[in-house]
Amino acid sequence: MKRVLSRIAMGSALLCLFPAAPYAADHDHHAMAAPAAALTDGVVKKIDKAGSMLTLTHGPLENLGMPGMTMAFKVQVPGAVERLKVGDKVRFLADYVGGEIVIVRLEAAK
C-alpha cells in the first residue's frame, strides 16, 4: 500500500511541473504559438569583421533578463558585420547558442 501511495504522490508532483497547454480563444484545441521575442535597440561601438563580432551599447535584452549595457556579441547573421559601421543604430535579437550569447537577428534601425 505504501508503494502505491508513493507512486500516486510522485505522479501528482510531476503533473504540477508541466502546466496545461494554452488553448486558442475559439476553443479549437490547438496550442497557441509563443510570442516572438522583441528586438532590442542598439548602437554599434566596435566592429571585428574577422571574428564576426560587434560591440553594441544596447537596451535591456528582455528575452535573456539582461539589463542594458555595452558588450560584444558574436554575430550569426551572414554578411551583417560587413554592412555596418561604427555609430550605426540597429535592432537585434540575441539568444543563447552553444552556451554563448549570439546575435541571431539583426537589422538597421529606422
CA nearest neighbour of 105 among 44, 43, 40:
40
Domains of the chain: which residue ranges? Answer: 40-108
Flag whether pLDDT at 39 surpasses 70: yes
Class (C level, CATH) for 40-108: mainly beta
pLDDT tens sequence across 76-106: 988 899 999 999 999 999 999 999 999 999 9
Which of 41, 37, 46, 89 is closest to 65 using CA atoms?
37
